[in-house]
Amino acid sequence: MRYTSTVFILFLVGLFAAPALNAQVVGKHEKGAFLFKNATIETVTKGTVKGDLLVEDGKITGIGTSITAPAGAKVVDCTDQFIYPGFIDGGTQLGLIEVGSVSLTQDANEIGDVIPYMDALTAVNPNSVAIPVTRVGGVTTVITMPTGGIFPGQASLINLVGYTPDQMYAGFKAVRMNFPSSGSRGRWDRRSEEDRKKDEEKKLKQITDLWEETRLFAKVKEAKKKDSSVKLNYNPSLEAMIPVVNGDMALLIEVNRDADILSALRWIKKNDVKAILTGVAEGWRVADSIAAAKVPVITGPVINIPSRGSDRYDRAYANAGLMHKAGVTVALRTNNTENVRDLPFHAGFAVAYGMDRQAALEAITITPARMMGLGDQIGSLEVGKVASLFICDGDPFETSTQISKVVIEGWDIPMDSRHIQLYNEFLNRTPGVKD
């Protein structure tokens, strides 16, 4: 009898547990009109508003006091709750890597040094288990980027909702570039200083050549428009570089060492590209130069060790704040895949170590939005903007704060993820040890 009942319980548990483990299936999203009432609304750009926020058809259509709910709108009481704009992570591999050590689940790093035509968006897996895990933490929108080589491909801004990469695409793409460096790669890097310098110069030459070839390629392409007999070889790299060389498309330049940052700034000036510096771990050493060059920065992770043994222990924590204080436009990133949900904690650490809280909040909302030319669409709570937001019971930088609702592009996101499902299943496991 005991045996049969155990089997029966196991059967029941199995019945409910099996779908729970297909954990990217977290439920239906819901779109419609929502009226969030009596909230503390942190608009980011227009201060704090006590009142109501109305979402219709994916947009914010009202912020104010005593807004009447339109017919059919779902009314959510937000007394003692806060509404923040969805956080934006300025650099991740979310959707591109599923399991860190399993190469066949890694789609960020293609073969080749100069492959700017590789498009991260095409390899974004909308069903990555990490996506629901991330968005229930209030991070709604991320730049996901390819890695490796000099030009690893194009990064894309994606919303963490949707079943196809195109649905997720959030309106910004940029070519990524790893700026050459003469620095040592690590303890295992056996190249002499001279060899490292040679490697750096070789790469810089490759870049200069690429610029010249792209200009020529663009000219030939123009000529071909007028004269179809002009021969134009298939060259996806040069094709992809045309908008960058023309200054129409942004170039995300990954650079971290102080000397390399200065050399990148000179290079940017010379080539007149639309540049955003990324990484910038040693930005605090040359913050005035970055500010003077007026090149914006996406820096992070904030929670990291200093880049040199001789550095003060808190340099990585303080870097964003020090650059901001010097007048640099600073956005933040986690540079992570599975723990992009930590973004607000990175902002919190930046504040603890000197960054103004408003600046840190902007660094994961409106600042990256503006850098990407999307300042009028995302990154703050304003009427007319995309309804990507979340509701929480306190300061979202604090780990004790709970997030109760996330809306992305007007979609009410199920507050579920593999991590939450495993918690629900195993907190009071049945059968337990003696059942």
Binding to other proteins in span 110-149, by CB under 8 A: 129-130, 137
CA 107 – CA 121 distance, rounded (Å):
10
C-beta of residue 85 within 8 angstroms of C-beta of residue 44? yes
CA 332 – CA 317 distance, rounded (Å):
12
Q: Give min distance, CB of 153 to other proteins, in A.
A: 19
Cα separations (Å) of 40 from 52, 64, 81, 136, 393? 8, 11, 6, 20, 10
Instruction: Rule CB under 8 A: say whether 305 interacts with other proteins.
Output: yes
Which of 224, 312, 327, 358: binder of other proteins (CB under 8 A)?
A: 312
In this structure, how many other beta carbons lie within 10 angstroms of the beta carbon of residue 115? Answer: 19
Q: 26 vs 369, which CB is nearer to other proteins?
A: 26
Q: 185 vs 294, which CB is nearer to other proteins?
A: 185
Which of 102, 190, 227, 384: binder of other proteins (CB under 8 A)?
A: 102
Binding to other proteins in span 351-380, by CB under 8 A: 351-353
Tokens linked to 119: 């498009």
C-beta of residue 158 within 8 angstroms of C-beta of residue 142? yes
Q: 170 vs 253, which CB is nearer to other proteins?
A: 253
Q: In terms of DSSP bridges, do strands 153-159 and 169-178 run parallel, antiparallel, or are they unpaired? A: antiparallel
Q: Give min distance, CB of 332 to other proteins, in A.
A: 14
Q: 181 vs 278, which CB is nearer to other proteins?
A: 181
Closest to 333 measured CA to CA, from 357, 302, 354, 305? 302
Cis previous bond, 344, omega within 30:
no
Q: Give min distance, CB of 305 to other proteins, in A.
A: 5
CA 138 – CA 140 distance, rounded (Å):
6
> Dihedrals φ, ψ of 39, to 5°?
-100, 165
CA 393 – CA 81 distance, rounded (Å):
5
Q: 281 vs 328, which CB is nearer to other proteins?
A: 281
Q: Give min distance, CB of 348 to other proteins, in A.
A: 3
Q: For the stretch 127-159, what's the b/e string if a residue is b when 16 or more beta carbons lie within 10 angstroms of its beta carbon?
A: ebbbbbbbbbbbbbbbbbbbbbbbbbbbbbbbb
Q: Give min distance, CB of 310 to other proteins, in A.
A: 4
Q: 382 vs 395, which CB is nearer to other proteins?
A: 395
Q: 206 vs 401, which CB is nearer to other proteins?
A: 401
Angle between helices 258-271 and 193-226 (to 10 degrees): 20
Which of 56, 110, 199, 311: binder of other proteins (CB under 8 A)?
A: 311
CA angle, residues 321, 322, 325, in degrees to nearest 5 = 85
> Dihedrals φ, ψ of 336, to 5°?
-125, 175
Q: Give min distance, CB of 309 to other proteins, in A.
A: 5
Q: Give min distance, CB of 184 to other proteins, in A.
A: 6
Query: How many positions of this chain bind other proteins (CB under 8 A)?
Result: 62
Provide the CB-side half-sphere exposure for 271 (13 A, CA): 26
Instruction: Rule CB under 8 A: say whether 337 interacts with other proteins.
Output: yes
In this structure, how many other beta carbons lie within 10 angstroms of the beta carbon of residue 380? Answer: 23
Which of 6, 22, 184, 358: binder of other proteins (CB under 8 A)?
A: 184
Q: Give min distance, CB of 191 to other proteins, in A.
A: 12
Closest to 330 measured CA to CA, from 279, 296, 306? 296
Q: Which amino acid is it at 104?
A: L
Q: Give min distance, CB of 161 to other proteins, in A.
A: 20
CA 291, 85, 37, 394 dihedral sign is negative
Binding to other proteins in span 254-283, by CB under 8 A: 256-258, 281-282
CA 172 – CA 40 distance, rounded (Å):
30
Instruction: Rule CB under 8 A: say whether 100 interacts with other proteins.
Output: yes
Instruction: Rule CB under 8 A: say whether 432 interacts with other proteins.
Output: yes
Stated length of the chain: 435
395-424 footprint of other proteins as x/- string (CB under 8 A): x-xxxxxx---------------xxx-xx-
Part in contact with other proteins (CB under 8 A); list of ranges 48-56, 184-192, 218-226, 325-333: 184-192
Part in contact with other proteins (CB under 8 A); list of ranges 63-71, 240-248, 344-352, 379-387: 344-352
Instruction: Rule CB under 8 A: say whether 101 interacts with other proteins.
Output: yes
Closest to 413 measured CA to CA, from 426, 402, 404, 422? 404
Q: 110 vs 311, which CB is nearer to other proteins?
A: 311
Give the binding site for other proteins (CB under 8 A). Answer: 21, 98-102, 129-130, 137, 181, 183-189, 256-258, 281-282, 303-305, 307-314, 337-339, 341-342, 345, 348-349, 351-353, 395, 397-402, 418-420, 422-423, 426-427, 429, 432-434
